[in-house]
């Protein structure tokens, strides 16, 4: 069966991301130490993040707003709020560090199918990271979406003119990359990374026919080849 379209997540699939969010959260907890215990600050921030997703979506700006809101709920003073805002600015300016062998892997995948970047988050920030990565020219298309759901992938496959079973999605999130792509009829590769956000964790699919867990993205070209030689 031919794979004509390979969709790839960006954050923590092509380049490091959660390590910077973890560092920002650690800094946030330290800033709030005079106002809240570390465990309480982390729990409140996690709850506020999820509560704000329908309003702010995903990404560093949403996370910064959630940190500020949590700090206010914890009784932080104006100086602490200013420090939190600076931590958010630093998060938006973090360097783009590619994961190992990404350029070679994308080149190998591009020889087999069109590549489309499918990422969620703030439009400007994601565009900035893609530009800084130097990977933009390797993609046939770039889709920055508010969320990844079954209908998101169904519309995407229709837009690029491929049947779902001729498409494959690869990413580090079971919730956002794997399960909705499978539900839309595509193949899906799960490439887990350390430090995943708890909101993106979900049980693996029970039907593994079109699913594969990979140790790293460099294994994906071989799996695509196996599917096509099927």
Output the pLDDT for position 191: 97
Distance of CA 226 to the CA centre of its chain: 26
CATH no. of 18-92: 1.10.150.240
Output the pLDDT for position 113: 97
Output the pLDDT for position 215: 96
Domain(s) of CATH 1.10.150.240: residues in the chain: 18-92
CA-based nearest residue to 97, from 23, 221, 10: 10
Output the pLDDT for position 158: 97
Output the pLDDT for position 202: 87
Cα 126-166-129 angle, rounded to 5 deg: 10
Rounded mean pLDDT for each run of 10 residues along the chain, 230 residues in total: 95 95 96 97 96 93 97 96 96 94 97 97 92 96 95 97 98 96 97 85 86 97 94
Spatial neighbors of 110 by CB under 8 A, at least 6 apart, are 138
Output the pLDDT for position 37: 97
Domain(s) of CATH 3.40.50.1000: residues in the chain: 5-15+97-229
CA-based nearest residue to 57, from 159, 148, 128, 134: 148
Query: According to the CATH classification, is domain 5-15+97-229 in 3.40.50.1000?
Result: yes
SS3 190: strand
In the numeric block, the tokens 């995903």 are attached to 58
Give yes or no for a contact between 112 and 3, defined as CB atoms under 8 angstroms apart: yes
Output the pLDDT for position 114: 98
Rounded to two decimals, the pTM is 0.92
Distance of CA 144 to the CA centre of its chain: 11
């Amino acid at each position: 069966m031919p794979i004509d379209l390979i969709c790839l997540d960006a954050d923590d699939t092509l380049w490091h991301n959660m390590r910077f969010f973890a560092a920002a959260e650690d800094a946030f907890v330290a800033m709030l130490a005079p106002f809240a215990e570390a465990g309480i600050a982390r729990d409140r921030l996690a709850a506020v993040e999820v509560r704000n997703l329908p309003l702010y979506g995903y990404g560093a700006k949403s996370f910064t707003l959630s940190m500020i809101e949590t700090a206010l709920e914890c009784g932080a003073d104006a100086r602490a709020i200013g420090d939190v805002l600076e931590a958010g600015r630093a998060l938006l300016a973090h360097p783009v560090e590619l994961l190992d062998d990404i350029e070679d892997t994308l080149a190998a995948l591009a020889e087999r199918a069109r590549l489309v970047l499918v990422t969620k988050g703030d439009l400007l920030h994601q565009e900035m990271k893609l530009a800084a990565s130097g990977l933009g020219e390797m993609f046939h298309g770039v889709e920055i979406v508010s969320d990844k759901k079954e209908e998101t992938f169904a519309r995407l496959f229709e837009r690029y003119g491929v049947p779902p079973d001729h498409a494959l999605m690869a990413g580090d999130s079971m919730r956002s990359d794997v399960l909705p792509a499978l539900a839309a009829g595509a193949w899906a590769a799960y490439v887990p990374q350390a430090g995943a956000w708890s909101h993106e964790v979900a049980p693996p699919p029970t039907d593994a026919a079109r699913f594969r867990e990979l140790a790293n993205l460099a294994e994906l070209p071989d799996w695509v080849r196996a599917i096509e030689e099927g």
